[in-house]
Amino acid sequence: MAIWFTADTHFGDHRTLNIHKRDFAATAAMDAAMITGWNAVVAPDDDIWHLGDVARRLDDVAPLLAQLNGIKHLVRGNNDDPAIAQVPGWASVADYAEIVVDDRFCVLCHYPFRSWNRQHRGAINLHGHSHGKLKPMPRQFDVGVDPRGYRPVALAGLTGQSNSAAIATRT
């Protein structure tokens, strides 16, 4: 079982194509590419943490989750309807989470932090919201689809650890 991270999918949101200059002709192509990319790396029994801004329309979320592999956890973003917590398909929903992955303490939030819990003890901050536009900080990573090739990423793929099993494409 692997653990994956993503954010800022904005499924079905035509505004994202222009605002964030996504290279797709239409939202249908964008959505299809992200679904394919997600399922190429995430196995059905893997954990995946979505750090917010899932989809434009709440009614689209349950059908999307049914198409996506993995045990899905949501850390809500600013564009997520509060009712997203009641949508079937989430294993958990929160506004903030702290987890340990490969012996690394990780602070998860939709928003990037200037400082975070255990920052000076090696903790990592994973976030979305900025669509790859922020200047990097040590041990802070934007896991959004824009800087990550429109697919989820494993912690090893962010930190440079040589865990090839965690970053290999699933078939």
Mean pLDDT, the chain, whole residue set: 92
The pLDDT of 30-57, averaged and rounded, is 98
Q: Are 142 and 111 in contact (CB under 8 A)?
A: no
- Sheet strand arrangement including 71-75: 90-94, 71-75, 47-50, 3-6, 153-154
In SS3 terms, 89-140 reads as CEEEEECCEEEEECCEEEEECCCCCCCCCCHHHCCEEEECCCCCCCCCCCCE
Q: What is the pLDDT of residue 161?
A: 56
pTM for the model stands at 0.92
pLDDT over 70 at 167, yes or no: no
Taking residues 22-47, report their average pLDDT. 97
Residue 7 CB burial class (10 angstroms; 0-12, 13-18, ≥19): buried
**Is the pLDDT assigned to residue 135 strictly greater than 60?**
yes
Token reading at 17:
């194509």
Residue 46 CB neighbour total at 10 angstroms: 19
**Alpha carbon distance 165, 143 (integer Å):** 19
pLDDT, residue 67, reads 98
Q: Is pLDDT above 50 for 117?
A: yes
Q: What confidence score (pLDDT) does residue 162 get?
A: 39
Q: Give the lowest-confidence range in 46-50, 63-67, 93-97, 156-160.
A: 156-160
Mean pLDDT score, 27-43: 98
Residue 121: C-alpha distances to residues 105, 116, 140, 144, 166 (Å): 9, 10, 13, 25, 24
Q: Which domains does the chain have, with CATH numbers?
A: 3-167 (3.60.21.10)
Q: Model confidence over 59-99: pLDDT tens digits? A: 999 999 999 999 999 999 999 999 999 999 999 999 999 99
pLDDT per residue as tens digits for the range 5-19:
999 999 999 999 989
Distance CA 139, CA 120 (A): 10
